[in-house]
Amino acid sequence: MDSTRTAVTVASVDGSSRPPQTFGRTVRAYIALMKPRVLELLLVTTVPVMILAQGGFPDVWLVVATVIGGTASAGSAAAFNMYLDRDIDAHMQRTVNRPLVTGEVSPRGALIFAWSLAVFSTVWLWLTTNWLAATLSAAAIFFYVVIYTMILKRRTEQNIVWGGIAGCFPVLIGWTAVTGSLAWPPVILFTLVFLWTPPHYWPLSMKYKDQYEEVDVPMLGATRAGSQVGLQVILYAWATVVCSLLLIPVADMGLVYTVSSLVFGGWFIYESHVLYNRAVRGTEPRPMRVFHASITYLTLLFVAIAVDPLLPF
């Protein structure tokens, strides 16, 4: 019998039925383990840095190979994360539909998938780019899985600050894939993403404050008052924008990036101040405005990084 048409009705964790488990649904469940929305940010930060490193558009095959390896690497880290966090994911509304919670993927299947992606991404990047890019990719997986998920996440409210380092590695991987070495521009961009991560994630933790409290995960938004979180968001937003300006003299950036970093950075800072002011006044802070603004800011900034080397001014 064709396995793609074989339907198996499986009960979800709350006892209710869900749609039949087909081959296509299983594939989508494994893709969900890789956190596709996070992968989008990976592409946003990796490819522009490769263009900057090349001073133009790199070899297309190199870009494709780096993106494939980076996607597998980030997907591996996400799958490990879901495997390790499946106990708390089952008690949070925003994560209750993840594949390991619904039963669409078994813990064993998720673990095999995560290890397979980790091995593949490391070997792939070693063969198609260079040893340094492959090593950085493996380090990113280790940092996200061991340092953030296993050690920091459930122990300290500074979890996302230091755990967020894992999300900074794509800029280093993209640069080293092109040049085979490191330099100051990717270090600045690494620092930029490091500083950007807290004001990006803390508003989300404010939104889901009750859910994090329920599972005893000390995200800053769940452990501190809104005004305190808002102040931290402001400080990190300012630091992020200042760091972005350092790239102008170091990488000899042109008009497109200079204007973009000032305009989009100013908007990001403005939204962070709005969050703080609303929290201080005791009104609804609307943290998701800053969350979405942070994503848009980073996207537009890295688009400017990609465009700037391609233009004569």
* CATH number for the domain harbouring residue 160: 1.10.357.140
How many CB atoms sit inside 10 A of residue 237's CB? 28
Proportion of the chain above pLDDT 70, given as a percent:
94
Which residues, in sequence order, are bridge partners of residue 11?
17
Q: Is the dihedral of CA 110, 115, 116, 120 positive or negative?
A: positive
Domain extent for 313: 183-313
Please check whether residues 28 and 170 belong to one and the same domain. yes
Q: Select from 153, 165, 143 the least CA-distant residue to 217.
A: 153
20 pLDDT exceeds 70? no
Domain assignment present for 4: no
What CATH number is attached to the domain comprising 248?
1.20.120.1780
pLDDT per residue as tens digits for the range 129-160: 999 999 999 999 999 999 999 999 999 999 99
- Give this prediction's pTM: 0.90
30 shares its domain with 171: yes
Number of domains in the chain: 2
159 shares a domain with 33: yes
User: How much is the pLDDT for 18?
Assistant: 59
Alpha-carbon distance of 51 to 113, in angstroms, equals 31
Structure tokens belonging to residue 241: 């924008």
- Does pLDDT of 13 surpass 70? no
153: its two tokens:
């996440």
What is the H or E stretch that residue 56 is in?
Answer: none
Could you tell me if residue 2 is inside a domain?
Answer: no
Query: Phi, psi at residue 106, to the nearest 5°?
Result: -80, 155
**What is the tens place of the pLDDT at every residue in 223-246?**
999 999 999 999 999 999 999 999
Both 145 and 231 in one domain: the answer is no
Instruction: Give the per-residue pLDDT at 41.
Output: 82
- β-bridge mates for residue 17, sequence order: 11
DSSP 202: H
Residues 40 and 47: beta-carbon distance below 8 Å: no
Same domain, 110 and 227: no
